Structure 1
């Protein structure tokens, strides 16, 4: 992330924690990494903090690219697969620097969901699960998908039927990818636009609680 007018760089600041005391030492605890959408901020994902299971800690990260006073993970004006890959690598480096966590899972909204898939592709055995909310694939096919298929990580794909930002066809491609390569669960929400609501929060909470345990 950047501050002020600096050049964009890999995510290493702007983290919002559900339990600040755990930021320095997450020994033997499960970490839920929350990734906002384009034009978002970490606070967008704080809605999930109260829904985390006992023993889990949430951290919402700020994106890599400045969008006025907010953030994105990739260029919002064009297809940017390289940007998503760079953001996934930045998140992975950030995680490498965190001490002691026994396990980690991923929850991403919109662009953040695309980053979560790239993280899973890069290291499918590193994450207990991934959750995508109103999301899409940054890249339709990736040579690393074979490794995801071998690992079969749990993936929850959520999408609203009134989403006017991520078309149904994009959501369907993501759900199809998850069905082919992961242990997939798909949820569709009547009346939900390109946002998050209490129905999703409850489904994510149940999914995380089920898969956060070792």
Structure 2
């Protein structure tokens, strides 16, 4: 059995730390790094504290950047490498985000699959997920029934010209997400395996709705939304 992957804490890129603000964690795609998704921050609502994580694996030569799991697993549809990467994200949250009042995940491609898997492993810790050009890993996890009951908010955006994610995984995600989440999102005509400004406007609206939601404290009392 391979070692559990670990996030390099020294490589995490942070935005301004806003006391009491929700934490938005960015999970980049295959062959990229923690700097990539920071280009999206100007399009997102201000009240978040933002942290962009580096994937734990080095992408195989000659691909630059990093990966969350070996890309071949995408074709084999083996969920365990995605689960291992999600555990690495949870371990990082234990170490560096224990005091965050709310945690939301935004991932692209591989990073989106890891974001959804993290939600599945610890639904009580993740408030919402933004899935950009990603997919839900196949297979069942022990806490999936909790998601089916709780229906946490998930945004899913993908393009009609995205030829990177296999059709079988897109079809699986299209069936799995509505059954386990309060799903919103769009299919963008002509968009490839990328993100458009139109999509980012939809993501911003989705996140603003999450910011406006009341929050329960540890005693189950409802209070105002933090950071607003």
Q: Give TM-score scaled by structure 2 length.
A: 0.82
Match of 2:190 in 1: 191
Query: How well do the aligned residues superpose, as a CA RMSD in angstroms?
Result: 1.8
More off after superposition, 9-18 vs 110-119: 9-18
Correspondent of 1:16 among 13, 20, 25: 13
Partners of 1:8 and 1:65 within 8 A in 2:
no
More off after superposition, 65-74 vs 29-38: 65-74
Match of 1:4 in 2: none
State the Cα distance separating 1:128 from its structure 2 match. Answer: 1.4
Match of 1:75 in 2: 70
State the Cα distance separating 1:145 from its structure 2 match. Answer: 1.0
Partners of 2:151 and 2:180 within 8 A in 1:
yes
1:59 aligns with 2:51: yes
1:102 aligns with 2:94: no
State the Cα distance separating 1:72 from its structure 2 match. Answer: 0.6
Partners of 2:5 and 2:84 within 8 A in 1:
no
Question: May I ask how many residue pairs the two structures share in their alignment?
Answer: 203
More off after superposition, 74-83 vs 202-211: 74-83
Match of 2:89 in 1: 91
The separation in 2 between residues aligned to 1:74 and 1:103, in whole angstroms, is 26
The gaps in structure 2 that reach 5 residues or longer are 213-224
CA offsets per residue over residues 123-153 of structure 1, 9 Å max, x none? Answer: 1121111111111122243332101112210
The separation in 2 between residues aligned to 1:181 and 1:9, in whole angstroms, is 27
Match of 1:30 in 2: 22
State the Cα distance separating 1:47 from its structure 2 match. Answer: 2.4
The separation in 1 between residues aligned to 2:42 and 2:5, in whole angstroms, is 30
Partners of 1:158 and 1:188 within 8 A in 2:
yes
- The aligned runs of 1:117-136 (5 Å cut-off) are 117-136=116-135
The separation in 2 between residues aligned to 1:151 and 1:169, in whole angstroms, is 26
Partners of 2:153 and 2:183 within 8 A in 1:
yes
Other structure's SS at 1:149 match: helix
The separation in 2 between residues aligned to 1:124 and 1:9, in whole angstroms, is 21
| Rg larger for | 2
